[in-house]
Copies of this chain bind each other. A is one copy, B any other.
Amino acid sequence: MNKMHKEHTLTKNQQIIFDLIDKSSEPLKAYSILYNVQKKGIKAPLQVYRALDKLVEIGKIHKIESRNAFIACHNSSCQVAKATAFSICEICEKVTEISSAGLSKYLANFKDKDGMKYSKYNLEFFGLCKKCR
């Protein structure tokens, strides 16, 4: 198989699960994923969680921690820095990945009281989306 540059070639299970998440309009939960890929031969939770772990690790998807759900990344810079930001509508649960150069720069340069810098972070904003206001 042709392995181009730094591209991660997904395995069969990883590809099946990534495709499902990528084409979804909303974040998907692990057991919802499991249910939807059983016809493709993925039968057990662990198969799903292993693929999810790897996809998160390589930055193809992100976990929305407050919702225990997974969303595909459409922001190529995330694949380098594990620095993510999302907006979440508290009514319709719509989740959008925020890609703001200003925000990521601010957070990447943020130092706490001890002068500590953090390259990795996860930020979740909550509010009402346009529709729900």
A125 CB-CB contact with B under 8 Å: yes
Instruction: Report the minimum CB–CB distance from A57 to chain B (whole Å).
Output: 14
Contact of A127 among B66, B98, B120 (CB under 8 A): B120
CB distance from A100 to the nearest CB of B (A): 7
Copies in the complex: 2
Which residues of chain B come closer than 8 Å to A7, judged between CB atoms?
A: none
Residues of B within 8 A of A125 (CB): 107, 110, 112, 118, 120-121
Cα of A107 to Cα of B82 in the assembled complex, Å: 19
Q: Specify the chain B residue showing the minimal Cβ separation from A89.
A: B116
Interface digits, A117-132 against B, CB 8 Å rule (1 contact, 0 not)? 1111111111101100
A112 close to B124 (CB less than 8 A): no
Question: A87 near B: Cβ within 8 Å?
Answer: yes
Pick 24 A–B contacts, CB within 8 A, sort by A: A87-B116, A87-B118, A98-B112, A100-B110, A100-B113, A103-B110, A106-B106, A107-B123, A110-B125, A112-B125, A114-B130, A116-B129, A116-B130, A117-B127, A118-B127, A119-B127, A120-B126, A120-B127, A121-B124, A121-B126, A122-B123, A122-B124, A122-B126, A123-B124
A residues within 8 Å of B by Cβ? 65-66, 82, 87, 96, 98, 100, 103, 106-107, 110, 112-114, 116-127, 129-130
